[in-house]
Amino acid sequence: MHRLLVAFAVTLVALPLAAADPGGVAPKDILGQSTTLRAEVLDLALRAYQRAADAEAVRRAVLTIIDYELPSYDKRLWVVDMSTGRVMHEEWVAHGMGRPRGSGGSMTHALGFSNDHDSRKSSLGLYITAETYFGKHGYTVRLDGLERGFNDNARDRMIVLHGADYVTSERAERRQVGRSWGCPTVRPEVSESLIDAIKEGAALWVYYPDSRWLERSEFLEAR
């Protein structure tokens, strides 16, 4: 795992090191702030976060969790302050449509995942947030994938987090949240504050019960 993280440590070395140890955070307190976050998903997310923190890959004590097993009309993204256990954001988030269109799943459910270029699918696993920029989708944060074979092409694929007008509470109520080209996209009205909460060295973890990834992830393996 050390070799896997060296490149990311170099890009983040100029950032101040935050306390990244979640030891004082009680999972039940986090779960008590959400109606959709599941205990088994949180447990895995905390395990991945701790391993990344131990490897000094995490530069900010913030963890974003995305549960792509849940449908897009449910709030399935959470931003947790790992120093206090406070859930700062609980949001809807879109998944990738896949190429050809629909191969990544239906409008409501993500089913296919890929690390391949031009797949337009979401990727699983642990990321570290990087720099922000203003692009065609407005304020955006880049993501660096830490999991070889599962999300380490994220930067080259331009897998980033940004706002999108096809993610709204009204569309969620109608079960019509749109799909992206692989990026986790959120409501435009919350995107700026959410990005500011997670940018520059925080952990972002994307979950789906994919047996191949669960068995091979270096961040979930037994110690």
The reported pTM is 0.91
- Cα radius of gyration (the chain): 16
Residue type, 2: H
- pLDDT value, residue 43: 98
What is the average pLDDT value for the chain, to the nearest integer?
91
| CB contact set of 54 (below 8 Å; sequence gap of 6+) | none
Please report which confidence band the pLDDT of residue 2 belongs to, taking 50, 70 and 90 as the band edges: very low
pLDDT tens, position by position, 18-64 = 444 455 789 999 999 999 999 999 999 999 999 999 999 999 999 99
- pLDDT value, residue 221: 86
pLDDT tens, position by position, 166-222 = 999 999 999 999 999 999 999 999 999 999 999 999 999 999 999 999 999 999 986
CA–CA separation, 94 and 82 (whole Å): 24
pLDDT tens, position by position, 14-26 = 333 344 445 578 9
Q: Which of 5, 7, 91 is nearest to 48 (CA)?
A: 5
What CATH number should be reported for the domain whose range is 2-216?
2.40.440.10
- pLDDT value, residue 25: 87
pLDDT tens, position by position, 68-96 = 999 999 999 999 999 999 999 999 999 99
